[in-house]
Each structure stands twice: as structure tokens, then as C-alpha cells.
Amino acid sequence: MAKTKFKQRQNPFKSDAWKRFRKNKLALVGSAVIIIMVLAAIFAPILSQNDPYISLRDGTKILKNMSPVDSHTILGTDSLGRDEFSRLVYAARVSMSVGLVAVGISTIIGIVLGAISGYFGGVADMVIMRCVDVVNCFPVMFLIIIIATILKPSIYNIMIIMGLCNWTGTARLVRGEILRVREMEYVHAAVSLGASDFRIIFSHVIPNVMAPIIVEATMQMARAILTEASLSYLGVGVQLPTASWGNMLIEANNLATLTGRPWQWVPAGACIFLAVLSINFIGDGLRDALDAKQKK
């Protein structure tokens, strides 16, 4: 009964952070853009007038390819007569989910390995940090291309490979933060209570290093979307006919398209640009908002 009387208060960290985030206009605009893109991706079937995988025809026979904007197609059609706008919104699903899953994988690996390395130190630390150095030496783009060709390029392989290559930054970050937090007295207090290592890491240490991890993950998300776009443009990423912003740009390899039919490639390029820029703005905003040092 006493419990119901004093309701759980909202975590002041979160509300303060939101106050600071709200002041950053660029971050707000970025969030708005990303929210619109996510909504568009979710409601892709409703937004698109035409199936993104079917070539449209003029009347009954003639392929309606490379046609500019008209009443049936918001952004015209591509060289195979498919609706550009439909492909754009379906591509948003692919590009964003690749980014999200890849960053999810790399962040989890980074947190776990960074935590082990920072908390236990010694041999584990040395082995993991040397692994980080080794992975950092890989020319990631080249490695991804090779693995993608060996494993058969697919959207899932791309997610996994990118996840496995990009965890080093997070691991280093988490390790450093844990080295800092581990010497805090509240961690000593937990030790003196007899808490297990697992409990200390996940209940005391990780929540206190979450802010920089979130920022790092956001920034990585932008990089992941770019990497996916580059890979798909090169033809080793998301495979046609599945649309992604990257492989929609393949059309621009054709000089005639590049100069004469901008509706075939400008929207996809603009989407990549806007998504990456917005996510970076959000990341900057989060960094400022979550930084405890700026707390008054």
C-alpha cells in the first residue's frame, strides 16, 4: 500500500537529457526526417501506388520504361518500367533494417567484448584488444566484398558481415568507460555486498556507460547505411530485384540517365544523403544531451 502511495518517479536523467536534446534544433529536424522515413518504410504498401517489382505498361503492350513523372507514378519509372517511388519506399525498409541489424550486432559484440576486456583486464584484455587491432587492420570494404562474393551476396549476409567488422570502435569505447567506472566507489560498494561480476557489470557498470554507447551506435548507424549503399551500388550488397537505395543508384552508371533522367537516381541519392545527415545530427544532439559533464 505504501508502494502505491509514492509512485515511481520518472528517471530525472532521462527527462533532463530530453530537455537538452529539445534545445538542439538540428537534432530535432534530423529526428523528424528519420521518423518520416521510418513511417514511410513501415507504411510502404499503403504509400506506393504500384508494385515495386512489376514493370508498368502503357496501355496493354508497350513497356512504360524511363518515363518521367506523371499521374500514375510520382517519381516516374526506371529503365525496366518499375515505379521509382514505390521502389524508394520499399528500399527505405531494406536500407534502414540493414543499418539497424548490422549496428545491433556490432554493438552487442562491442559491449560484451569491451566489458570483458575492461572489467577483467589481464590476459582477456590483451587478447581482445589485439583482436581489435587485427580487425581494425582489415580493409573493411574489400573484406566485405570478398566475403559477400564467397557467401553469395544477400541482405542477411551483408548485415552479419557488417556487424562482425564494425564492433571494434564500440569495444574500445566500452573498455575505456568501464575502466573509468570500475574504480567508482559504488562499484566497490557492490563488491563489498558480495555481488557477482555479472551483476556488477550489467546492473552497475553498463547503465552508467550507456550514454556514449548510444551515441556511438547512432553514428555507426549512419556509417552502416552508407556502407550498405556503397556495397549495393557495387553490386555485392542487396541484390536486385530487391530495392535498396544503393542499388537504385546503379542506374546512374548510364550517362544518358545521369544527364537526362534525374528522377531515376536523384531521389535515392537524396534519401541516402538525408538519412545519413539526419542520423549524424541526432548523434550529435544525443552526445550533448547525454553528456553528464554538462549537467548543471
Cβ–Cβ < 8 Å for 76, 92: no
Work out how close the CB of 270 gets to another protein at its nearest, in angstroms, rounded to a whole number.
Answer: 40
- Integer Cα distance of 192 and 200 in angstroms: 11
- Cα 153 from chain centre: 19
- Integer Cα distance of 17 and 213 in angstroms: 15
- Write down the residue that cell numbers 538525408 correspond to: 274
> What ranges in the chain are assigned the alpha helix state H?
2-5, 12-23, 25-42, 44-47, 84-120, 122-137, 140-151, 155-165, 168-182, 185-192, 197-199, 206-234, 245-248, 255-260, 266-290
- Write down the residue that cell numbers 570483458 correspond to: 116
Work out how close the CB of 283 gets to another protein at its nearest, in angstroms, rounded to a whole number.
Answer: 22
- Integer Cα distance of 166 and 8 in angstroms: 38
**43 touches another protein (CB under 8 A):** no
3-state secondary structure of 141: helix
Number of residues that bind another protein (CB under 8 A): 27
Work out how close the CB of 126 gets to another protein at its nearest, in angstroms, rounded to a whole number.
Answer: 16
* Span of 30-38, 147-155, 171-179, 182-190 interacting with another protein by CB under 8 A: 182-190
Work out how close the CB of 188 gets to another protein at its nearest, in angstroms, rounded to a whole number.
Answer: 6
Helix-helix angle 84-120:25-42, to 10 degrees? 120
Work out how close the CB of 118 gets to another protein at its nearest, in angstroms, rounded to a whole number.
Answer: 17
Task: For the beta carbon of residue 236, count every other beta carbon within 10 angstroms.
Answer: 19
Work out how close the CB of 192 gets to another protein at its nearest, in angstroms, rounded to a whole number.
Answer: 5
**255 touches another protein (CB under 8 A):** no
* Span of 1-9, 116-124, 148-156, 225-233 interacting with another protein by CB under 8 A: 1-9
Residue number with CB closer to another protein (70 or 197): 197
**The only residue of 108, 127, 134, 184 in contact with another protein, by rule CB under 8 A:** 184
**The only residue of 191, 214, 274, 277 in contact with another protein, by rule CB under 8 A:** 191
* Span of 77-85, 115-123, 171-179, 197-205 interacting with another protein by CB under 8 A: 197-205
Residue number with CB closer to another protein (47 or 195): 195
The set of residues, in sequence order, having a beta carbon less than 8 Å from that of 229 and lying 6+ positions away, is 95, 237, 244, 245, 246, 249, 272
- Which 205-244 positions form the footprint of another protein (CB under 8 A)? 207-208
**130 touches another protein (CB under 8 A):** no
- Alpha-carbon distance values, 137 to 167, 168, 184 (Å): 13, 11, 34
Work out how close the CB of 31 gets to another protein at its nearest, in angstroms, rounded to a whole number.
Answer: 24
**2 touches another protein (CB under 8 A):** yes
**The only residue of 25, 130, 180, 188 in contact with another protein, by rule CB under 8 A:** 188
* Span of 9-17, 89-97, 128-136, 161-169 interacting with another protein by CB under 8 A: 9-17
- Write down the residue that cell numbers 570494404 correspond to: 141
Residues near another protein (CB under 8 A) are: 2-3, 6-9, 11-13, 184-186, 188-196, 199, 203-204, 207-208, 292
